[in-house]
Chains A and B, each alone.
Chain A
Amino acid sequence: QVTLRESGPVLLKPTQTLTLTCSFSGFSLSTREMCVSWIRQPPGKALEWLARIDWDDDKYYSTSLKTRLTISKDTSKSQVVLTMTNMDPVDTATYYCARIRGVDYYMDVWGKGTPVTVSS
């Protein structure tokens, strides 16, 4: 059974750096064509794709956020980490990680999400 779980701070102040961890089980990111993506959703708004890391350590970022994002993986720990610098209240959202199981980059299993609020 594939599961993913997001963890990180619930509350941040403006300008701080967000570090989120996605801990997963049931698959390995060292397996060919496996990937993990991060997606966020501000309250009452649509989903927004943020970043993806592939089994071969290729990394991809949202065009509008790429200067602020870094994604990395620790295959031995079955974890993917996303950092976002210079947080702002508009970054308040639920952050999800999700698995991609092949060369077609749709997300087949999602974590439950973790809420992040940015406020002074």
Chain B
Amino acid sequence: DIQMIQSPSSLSASVGDRVTITCRASQGIRNSLAWYQQKPGKAPKLLLYAASRLESGVPSRFSGSGSGTDYTLTINSLQPEDFATYYCQQYYTTPQTFGGGTKVEIK
């Protein structure tokens, strides 16, 4: 199985900040990466797929990049509604696997 390591596991940021979350795969996944946002008590929500493609309806302040084994989710100008936990998921191989999550908290 491909292991997905997310960092950091948590971070504190202020409204308006730029936030970067990293996901590293244990082998190359050829951009087969999705990012999800999860708020407490809610189901995850798809933000991006194919490493950098924004899901319909997701604000453009969310962006993704990367290649090979290393990928990044960036949130530009953090908004109050962005405080949540973010997960990466690889779908290059089955079983699909998730990262351990990054909790974005208010500073």
| Chain A residues at the B interface, C-beta cutoff of 8 Å | 37, 39, 46-49, 52, 60-63, 96, 98, 104-113
Q: How far is the CA of A37 from the CA of B45 in the complex (A)?
A: 15
The 6 closest A-B pairs by CB, nearest first: A106-B34, A105-B91, A110-B43, A47-B98, A106-B49, A60-B94
Q: Determine the chain B residues whose CB is within 8 A of the CB of A110 once the complex forms.
A: 43-45
Q: How far is the CA of A116 from the CA of B46 in the complex (A)?
A: 24
Q: Determine the chain B residues whose CB is within 8 A of the CB of A46 once the complex forms.
A: 87, 98-101
Q: B96 touching A104 by the CB < 8 A rule?
A: no
Q: A108 touching B94 by the CB < 8 A rule?
A: no
| Chain B residues at the A interface, C-beta cutoff of 8 Å | 1, 32, 34, 36, 38, 42-46, 49-50, 55, 87, 89, 91, 94-101
Can you list 12 A-B contacts with CB-CB less than 8 angstroms, sorted by A residue number?
A37-B96, A46-B87, A46-B100, A46-B101, A47-B87, A47-B89, A47-B101, A52-B96, A60-B94, A98-B43, A106-B46, A107-B46
Q: B98 touching A49 by the CB < 8 A rule?
A: yes
* Majority DSSP secondary structure for residues of B touching A: loop
Q: Given contacts A106-B34, A108-B55, is CB(A49)–CB(B43) below 8 Å?
A: no
Q: How far is the CA of A46 from the CA of B95 in the complex (A)?
A: 16
Q: Determine the chain A residues whose CB is within 8 A of the CB of B95 once the complex forms.
A: 49, 60-63
Q: Determine the chain B residues whose CB is within 8 A of the CB of A52 once the complex forms.
A: 94, 96
Residue in B36, B42, B50 whose CB lies within 8 Å of A104: B50
Q: A47 touching B94 by the CB < 8 A rule?
A: no
Q: How far is the CA of A49 from the CA of B43 in the complex (A)?
A: 14
Q: How far is the CA of A111 from the CA of B43 in the complex (A)?
A: 7
CB distance from B53 to the nearest CB of A (A): 10
**Nearest B residue to A111 by beta-carbon distance?**
B43
Q: A104 touching B91 by the CB < 8 A rule?
A: yes
Q: How far is the CA of A96 from the CA of B81 in the complex (A)?
A: 23
Q: B46 touching A63 by the CB < 8 A rule?
A: no
Q: How far is the CA of A46 from the CA of B49 in the complex (A)?
A: 19
**Nearest B residue to A48 by beta-carbon distance?**
B98
